[in-house]
C-alpha cells in the first residue's frame, strides 16, 4: 500500500469508529447452559437483574477503556468501575464457554484475549484484587483478525477452560482490543468483559498471574500499532498464554530430543 492509501485507510478507520455501533455481550453459554448477559440499561430496572457478568453502569455508550487507563485496575480489569456480578455459572474444567456479542463493527479489527483470575468469592471480588493469567489469545492469523473471526462466528467467541487448573471460583476476563486508530498515541480501544464462574473437577495448577494494572502498557508493540500495513507480524499484547504442565512437559521433551541436535550439532 502506498502511504496515501495507508493514511486514507487510517482516516476511514477513525471515521468508522465514530459512526458504527459498538456492542456489549448478548448471551453467555456455559457448558451448554444459557445465561443472561449484562446490559448497561439494567441500571434503570428496579431491582436490577442479577447476572453472572460484571456490571458497568458507565458502559451505556458501549464504549472502551483507553491506553491512558491501563495503570488503573478499576478501569482495565472489568471495564470502567465494573462491579462483580451477583451470580456464578458452574463449568467443568475442560468445559467451554460461548461468549456472544450483540454486534461488532467490522472496522474495529484486533485481537481477542481471555484471562482467568482465581478468587474466593467471585460475587464479592474487587477489580483491584484480580490477578489474571491468560488462557487464550488470537491476533492476526491466516490473513484474518480475531475480531473478524468472531463476527463470522455469529459474534461469538468460544473459550475453553483449562482442564488442569484448581477447582473453585474465577473471574473470566474476555476482551477485544480494537486497533483501527491504534497508530495514534492512546488510540487502541479495549473492551473487557468479566464473567463469574465456578470451575469443578480440574487439577491443582495455580498459574502465575498478573494484576490488571500490569497487563498492558501504552507503548506495547501490540497496542501502539498501525494495522493498515502488513499485519502478519502483529504481536498480541499481555502476558504469555499459560500452558498446562502436560503441555510444558511435552514441549520440554520435544526440545530435549529434537532441539538438542540443532543446538549442539553432532559430528559424524
Ligand atoms: Cu468505535
What is the whole-number distance in angstroms between the Cα of residue 108 and the centre of ligand 1?
A: 6
What is the whole-number distance in angstroms between the Cα of residue 164 and the centre of ligand 1?
A: 37
Which single residue is written with the C-alpha cell 492509501? 5
Q: What integer pLDDT is reported at residue 249 of this predicted model?
A: 65
Name beta bridge partners: 35. 28
Among residues 167, 151, 150, 168, the alpha carbon closest in space to that of 159 is found at 150
Taking the model in full, what pTM does it have? Answer: 0.86
Which single residue is written with the C-alpha cell 498459574? 207
What is the whole-number distance in angstroms between the Cα of residue 80 and the centre of ligand 1?
A: 16
Name beta bridge partners: 138. 112
What is the whole-number distance in angstroms between the Cα of residue 184 and the centre of ligand 1?
A: 14
- Find the domain containing 145 and state its range: 5-267
Among residues 90, 80, 164, the alpha carbon closest in space to that of 122 is found at 90
What is the whole-number distance in angstroms between the Cα of residue 172 and the centre of ligand 1?
A: 23
Q: Determine phi and psi for 186, rounding to 5 degrees.
A: 60, 30
b (16+ CB within 10 A) / e for 19-44: eeebbbbbebbbbeeebbbbbbebee
Q: Determine phi and psi for 68, rounding to 5 degrees.
A: -65, -10
What is the whole-number distance in angstroms between the Cα of residue 59 and the centre of ligand 1?
A: 13
List the pLDDT tens digit at each of the 268 positions of the chain.
444 444 544 544 444 444 457 899 999 999 999 999 999 999 999 999 999 999 999 999 999 999 999 999 999 999 999 999 999 999 999 999 999 999 999 999 999 999 999 999 999 999 999 999 999 999 999 999 999 999 999 999 999 999 999 999 999 999 999 999 999 999 999 999 999 999 999 999 999 999 999 999 999 999 999 999 889 999 999 999 998 666 566 666 766 766 554 443 333 3
What is the whole-number distance in angstroms between the Cα of residue 19 and the centre of ligand 1?
A: 8
Say which CATH number the domain at 209 has: 2.70.50.70
What is the whole-number distance in angstroms between the Cα of residue 4 and the centre of ligand 1?
A: 23
Distance CA 71, CA 156 (A): 29
Distance CA 12, CA 21 (A): 15
Overall number of domains in the chain: 1
Q: What integer pLDDT is reported at residue 16 of this predicted model?
A: 42
What is the whole-number distance in angstroms between the Cα of residue 133 and the centre of ligand 1?
A: 27
Amino acid at each position: 500500500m502506498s502511504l496515501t492509501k495507508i493514511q486514507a485507510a487510517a482516516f476511514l478507520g477513525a471515521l468508522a469508529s465514530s459512526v458504527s455501533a459498538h456492542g456489549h455481550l448478548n448471551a453467555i453459554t456455559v457448558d451448554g447452559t444459557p445465561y443472561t448477559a449484562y446490559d448497561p440499561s439494567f441500571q434503570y430496572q428496579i431491582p436490577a437483574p442479577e447476572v453472572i457478568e460484571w456490571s458497568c453502569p458507565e458502559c451505556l455508550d458501549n464504549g472502551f477503556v483507553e491506553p491512558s487507563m491501563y495503570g488503573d485496575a478499576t478501569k482495565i480489569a472489568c471495564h470502567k468501575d465494573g462491579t462483580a456480578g451477583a451470580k456464578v455459572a458452574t463449568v467443568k474444567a475442560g468445559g467451554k464457554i460461548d461468549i456472544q456479542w450483540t454486534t461488532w463493527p467490522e472496522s474495529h479489527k484486533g485481537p481477542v484475549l481471555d484471562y482467568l483470575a482465581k478468587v474466593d468469592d467471585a460475587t464479592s471480588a474487587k477489580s483491584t484484587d484480580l490477578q489474571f493469567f491468560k488462557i487464550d489469545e488470537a491476533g492476526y492469523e491466516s490473513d484474518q483478525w480475531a475480531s473478524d473471526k468472531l463476527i463470522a462466528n455469529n459474534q461469538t467467541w468460544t473459550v475453553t477452560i483449562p482442564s488442569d487448573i484448581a477447582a473453585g471460583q474465577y473471574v473470566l476476563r474476555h476482551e477485544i482490543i480494537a486497533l483501527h486508530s491504534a497508530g495514534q498515541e492512546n488510540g487502541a480501544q479495549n473492551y473487557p468483559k468479566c464473567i463469574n464462574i465456578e470451575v469443578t473437577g480440574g487439577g491443582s495448577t495455580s498459574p502465575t498471574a498478573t494484576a490488571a494494572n500490569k497487563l498492558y502498557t501504552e507503548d506495547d508493540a501490540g497496542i501502539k500499532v498501525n494495522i493498515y500495513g502488513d499485519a502478519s507480524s502483529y504481536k498480541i499484547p499481555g502476558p504469555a498464554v499459560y500452558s498446562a504442565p502436560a503441555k510444558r512437559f511435552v514441549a520440554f521433551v520435544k526440545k530435549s530430543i529434537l532441539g538438542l541436535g540443532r543446538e549442539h550439532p553432532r559430528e559424524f
